[in-house]
Amino acid sequence: MTPPPGTSGTPLRVAVVGSGPAGFYAAEHLLRSEEHDFEVDVFDRLPTPFGLVRAGVAPDHPKIKSVIRVYEKTAAREGFRFFGNVEVGRDVSAGELADHYNAVIYAYGAPTDRHLGIPGEDLPGSHAATEFVAWYNAHPDFADREFDLSCERAVVIGNGNVATDVARMLGLNREELEATDTAEHAIDPLADNGIKEILVLGRRGPAQAAFTNPELRELGEMIDADIDVDPADVELDALSREFLESDDADITTRKNVEIFNAFATQQSEGKPRRIVLRFLRSPVEIQGDGKVERIVVARNELHRDESGAIRPRDTGERETIECGIVFRAVGYKGIGLDGVPFDERRGVIPNEGGRIVDESGAQVPGQYAVGWIKRGPSGVIGTNKKDAQETVDNLVEDAAADRVPEAAGAADRMAIVELLTERAPDHVTFEGWQGIDVAEQERGKPLGRPRVKFVRVDEMLDAARGAAVSG
Ligand code: NAP
């Protein structure tokens, strides 16, 4: 008699689509499960794993990137396989995954950016910050982007951590950049950039900024950039004061306000650049003759909306600011995948605790979501650990209640490999990735850099094949 699914004779087979933090934490929770025996295959569209830890975290934050060691331990567990350079939706469909696995966990994040919806947003020189981030992090899809950093003033829209990353990267000097794994193609343009002022605009006030404390504090500790905050700009309005004094204000917000106040008293040290933070300003139009030359901003005041949230409201007052480049750091956005339910408005896969639900609210058997595509683009890397735990707990509960489908192809672990050999013959295993990893580090050694990243998929595949041959 065949043992029941989920026991060591017939493990439950799970596909995880996306190899960023959420995908890796989901894999880890499954492979550590004491209730069931799982085998996990993690897919990624790129030959390289780790999602935004590789292509999003700023290069001057190596400590944050060291979380990769945790993921490497997951990858070393029995029952784990990685299939890189496989795009779900192109090389294999969601339906085919459902045929080959008892469960599929979607963990593909929020790959695009939110828009401002203002005139001039698409002028040359107006960029999604997410694309700039991907470019300086050597994401292959963005390697050929060009950013003209010759102007004197750059404007960064948004008060989240991506805005701080962009502001910092524009303010690092050559020596600082060369100590990082910044894409080779980005080092000269960043190090030689002509920008004297990096102006960061928040549409609400200091007490509503989305920065986390260490990221904000760093802006005041740049070697080659002064921080510049007008004391009048950090004076809180009555609503913000009331909020800050209430139990609703968290410690991060209170601390942020303290840091802004400290910035406002910080004297300029005459450094080559300055990072200026201004609040209650919303972009209303980006203008210029064929490229960005200026931005028109509205002056806002704060009010409480019907739900009680503190929102910005246009006062009607306008200001025009000369600038040569604009980075829109107003958030990432999820996109849909054929064959998987999607909530266009929220940019997430509709789900209840990670269980994917269809339009009628019914659970789609065997389909789950984790990370940004589950909850939206919020939180730090560690947030995904708990998030993935919730989904995996629900998956385990479903398995125990016999609610996980008996997929026809799940019994044969090699069936998916056969399919991939046909559809995506250049797929990369975790061993292949390790070959890429070693090769990148070797390239960095003569330059005293942690690694020099490959930016072309072909180069990555060559390095992966080298590992397969020598391994
Ligand atoms: P975010 O934290 O959501 O910040 C987005 C910012 O854009 C907010 O200040 C928001 O203002 C503003 N915004 C939205 N729509 C706007 C509009 N139409 N006009 C003007 N401003 C607008 O997003 P993020 O910076 O992209 O970061 C995404 C997530 O990754 C966050 O959870 C972040 O903490 C995380 N992250 C962490 C690190 C790190 O830990 N070092 C680094 C990078 C990113 P409102 O608040 O008024 O909506």
Residues 150 and 292 in one domain: yes
Q: Is 467 within the bounds of a domain?
A: no
Residue ranges around ligand 1 (CB below 6 Å): 116, 157-163, 165, 202-204, 208, 210, 212, 215, 282, 329-332, 377-380
What share of the chain has pLDDT > 90, as a percent?
Answer: 94
Mutate to test the pocket of ligand 1, among 113, 159, 168, 307 (most ligand atoms within 8 A of CB): 159
Which residues on adjacent β-strands are paired with residue 406?
Answer: none
Atom of ligand 1 nearest to the CA of 378: 32
Among 313, 332, 351, the domain-final residue is 332
Statement to judge: residues 123 and 82 lie in one domain: no
Single-letter code of the amino acid located at 199: L
Ligand 1, atom 40, lies closest to the CA of 380
Q: Which residue has the tokens 């009628």?
A: 360
Same domain, 300 and 338: no
Residue 43: which CATH number?
A: 3.40.50.720
Residues 281 and 417 reside in one and the same domain: no
pLDDT in tens, 356-394: 999 999 999 999 999 999 999 999 999 999 999 999 999
The string of DSSP letters for 90-159 reads TTB-HHHHHHH-SEEEE-----EE-----TTTTSTTEEEHHHHHHHHTT-GGGTT------SSEEEEE-S
For position 8, what pLDDT does the model report? Answer: 67
* In a shared domain, residues 107 and 122: no
Cα of 141 to ligand 1 centre, how many Å? Answer: 23
The single-letter code of the amino acid at 48 is T
Residues 107 and 188 in one domain: no
Tokens of residue 8, six digits: 């060591």
Kindly give the distance from the C-alpha atom of residue 355 to the centroid of ligand 1, in angstroms, as a whole number: 26
Asked whether residue 76 falls in the same domain as residue 134, the answer is no
Please report whether residue 315 resides in a domain.
Answer: yes
Residues 316 and 342 in one domain: no
Looking at the whole model, is its pTM more than 0.85? yes
Structural domain for 217, as ranges: 112-332
CA–centroid distance, residue 101 to ligand 1 (Å):
36
Cβ contact 391:353 at 8 Å: yes
- Tokens representing residue 436 in the block: 């890429």
Q: What is the pLDDT of residue 275?
A: 98
In a domain, 145, yes or no: yes
Pick from 78, 51, 74, 11: nearest CA to 133: 51
Q: Would you say residue 439 lies in a domain?
A: no
Rounded CA-CA distance 350/343 in Å is: 6
Tell me, yes or no, whether 248 lies in a domain.
yes
How many domains are there within the chain? 2
**Residue ID of nearest Cα to ligand 1 atom 1:** 160
- Residue 171 sits in the same domain as residue 297: yes
- Boundary (domain end) residue, out of 332, 365, 393: 332
157 within some domain: yes
Helices 184-191 and 129-136 cross at an angle (nearest 10°) of: 120
Distances (CA, A) of 270 to 196, 220, 263: 11, 13, 15
Give a yes or no: residue 133 inside a domain.
Answer: yes
The answer to whether residue 441 is domain-embedded is no
What's 285's domain CATH number? 3.50.50.60
Long-range Cβ pairs for the range 114-121 (8 Å, 24+): 114/330, 114/331, 114/332, 114/333, 115/328, 116/157, 116/283, 116/328, 116/330, 118/283, 118/284, 118/285, 118/286, 119/285, 119/286, 120/285, 120/286, 120/287, 120/288, 120/292, 121/286, 121/328
| Nearest protein Cα to ligand 1, atom 39 | 161
Q: Please identify every stretch of the chain with a pLDDT value under 70, giving residue numbers as ranges.
A: 1-5, 7-8, 468-471
φ, ψ of residue 207 in degrees (nearest 5) = -80, 0
In the chain, what are the helix, strand and coil shares in percent, each to the nearest 5?
Answer: 35, 20, 40
Q: Which of these, 236, 170, 161, lies nearest to 199 by C-alpha position?
A: 170
Distance from C-alpha of 27 to C-alpha of 362, rounded to nearest angstrom: 25
Q: Are residue 326 and residue 199 in the same domain, yes or no? A: yes
Residues 197 and 262 in one domain: yes
pLDDT at 406: 86
Choosing from 277, 312, 332, the residue where a domain stops is: 332
